[in-house]
Amino acid sequence: MSTATVPEPTAPTADGEDRLNLRGAILPRFVPFAVAAGSVVVALLIYLLTPVDSEIQIVLMAALIFVVAMTAVSTSIEGSRRARDRFATTLVYGAFLLAVIPLVAVLASVIGKGAARLSPSFLTHSMNGIGARDSGGGIYHAIIGTVEQVLIASAIAVPFGLLVAIYLVEYGRGRISRTISFFVDVLTGLPSIIAGLFVLAFWILALGQGFSGFAGSLALVVLMIPTVVRSAEEMLKLVPNELREAGYALGVPKWRTILRVVVPTALPGIVTGVMLAVARVSGETAPVLLTVFGTNLINANPFSGEQSSLPLYIYSQAGQPQQFAIDRAWAAALVLIIIIMVLNLVARLFAGRSRLK
Amino acid sequence: MATRIEVTGLTAYYGKFKAVSDVNLTIEPKNVTAFIGPSGCGKSTVLRTLNRMHEVLPGARVEGRVLLDGEDLYGAGMDPVNVRRTVGMVFQRPNPFPTMSIYENVIAGLKLNGIRKKALLDERVEESLRGANLWDEVKDRLNRPGAGLSGGQQQRLCIARAIAVEPQVLLMDEPCSALDPISTLAIEDLINKLKSSFTIVIVTHNMQQASRVSDATAFFSLEKTGDPGRLVEFDKTSKIFTNPSEKRTEDYVSGRFG
Ligand SMILES: Nc1ncnc2c1ncn2[C@@H]1O[C@H](COP(=O)(O)OP(=O)(O)OP(=O)(O)O)[C@@H](O)[C@H]1O
Ligand SMILES: [Mg+2]
Decide: B17 in ligand 1 pocket, CB within 6 A: yes
Residue B37: which pLDDT band, with cuts at 50, 70 and 90? very high
Tell me what the pLDDT averaged over chain A comes to.
Answer: 89
Region class of A137: left (phi > 0), else alpha (psi between -120 and 50), else beta: left
Same domain for A91 and A173, yes or no, is no
What's the pLDDT tens digit per position in B57-114?
988 999 999 999 889 999 888 999 999 999 999 998 899 999 999 999 999 999 888 8
Asked if A112 and A144 sit in the same domain, the reply is no
CA dist B171 and B44 (Å) reads 10
- Residue A112's nearest CA partner among A347, A334, A339, A336 is A334
Q: Is B152 exposed, middle or buried (0-12, 13-18, 19+ CB in 10 A)?
A: buried
B 16-45 → A contacts, CB under 8 A = none
Domain CATH for A217: 1.10.3720.10
How confident is the model at residue B2, as a pLDDT?
63
Average pLDDT over residues A47-72: 88
- Per-residue pLDDT for A73 more than 70? yes
pTM: 0.83
Pair A101, A228 in one domain: no
- At a CB cut-off of 8 Å and minimum separation 6, what does A18 contact? none
- Mean pLDDT for B226-248 is 92
Asked if A58 and A200 sit in the same domain, the reply is no
Residue A10's pLDDT is 55
- A87 in any annotated domain: yes
Dihedral angle at the C-alpha atoms of A276, A155, A169, B111, nearest 10 degrees? 110
Does any domain span residue A133?
A: no
The CA B49 to ligand 2 mean position distance, Å, reads 13
pLDDT score of A356 = 46
**C-alpha distances in angstroms, A198 versus A191, A202, A309, A310?**
11, 6, 19, 22
Among A36-45, A48-57, A115-124, A300-309, the minimum mean pLDDT is found in A48-57
- B80 CA to chain A: closest CA distance, Å? 8
- Is A174 an interface residue toward B (CB < 8 Å)? no
Mean pLDDT across A146-155: 95
The full 3-state SS of A144-210, as one line of letters, equals HHHHHHHHHHHHHHHHHHHHHHHHHHHHCCHHHHHHHHHHHHHHHCCCHHHHHHHHHHHHHHHCCCC
- State whether A190 and A94 are in the same domain: no
Phi-psi region of A208 (alpha: psi -120 to 50; beta: other; left: phi over 0): left
Same domain, A156 and A290: yes
CA dist., res. B25 & res. B239, Å (int): 16
Q: Alpha-carbon dihedral of residues A275, A280, A283, A286, nearest 10 degrees?
A: -150
Among the listed residues A289, A298, A275, A278, the one whose alpha carbon sits nearest the alpha carbon of residue A145: A298
Specify if A15 maps to a domain. no
Cβ neighbours, 10 Å, residue B97: 23
From residue B189, give the alpha-carbon distance in Å to each of A97, A100, A125, B129.
59, 59, 75, 14
Element at A323 (helix H, strand E) = helix A323-353
Q: Based on the fold, state whether residues A108 and A144 are members of the same structural domain.
A: no
Q: Residue A15 pLDDT more than 80?
A: no
Please give the C-alpha separations between residue A234 and each of A184, A191, A238, A257, in angstroms, as whole numbers: 13, 23, 7, 18
Residues A104 and A153 in one domain: no
Q: Are A309 and A220 contained in the same domain?
A: yes
The pLDDT, as a whole number, for residue B180 is 81
Chain B residues close to A251, C-beta within 8 Å: 81-86, 88, 109, 113, 165
Q: Do A249 and B99 touch (CB under 8 A)?
A: no
**In a domain? residue A2:** no
DSSP symbol at A6:
S
Tens digits of residue pLDDT in A193-229: 999 999 999 998 999 888 999 999 999 999 999 999 9
B 125-164 → A contacts, CB under 8 A: 144-145, 158, 161-162
- Tell me how close the Cα of A152 comes to any Cα of chain B, in angstroms: 30
Question: Which residue from A minimizes the CA distance to B53?
Answer: A249
**B42 in ligand 1 pocket by Cβ < 6 Å?**
yes
Ligand 1 centroid – CA B81 distance (Å): 23
Amino acid occupying residue A177: S
Identify the pLDDT of residue A357.
40
Domain count, chain A: 2
Q: Which segments within chain B are labelled E, that is strand?
A: 5-14, 17-27, 32-36, 60-68, 71-72, 87-90, 169-173, 199-203, 216-221, 230-236
Beta-bridged to residue B234, according to DSSP, are B218
CB distance B43 to ligand 1 below 6 Å: yes
Q: A336, A314 in Cβ contact below 8 A?
A: yes
Structure confidence at residue A278 (pLDDT): 92
Please give the residue range of the domain that contains residue A94: 30-116
Q: How many CA atoms lie within 13 A of A345 on its CB side?
A: 6
Same domain for A59 and A159: no
Picking from A252, A258, A259 by the largest number of B CB atoms within 10 A of its own CB, the best residue to mutate is A252
Contact A251 B53 (CB under 8 A): no
Phi and psi (nearest 5°) for B145?
Answer: -65, 140
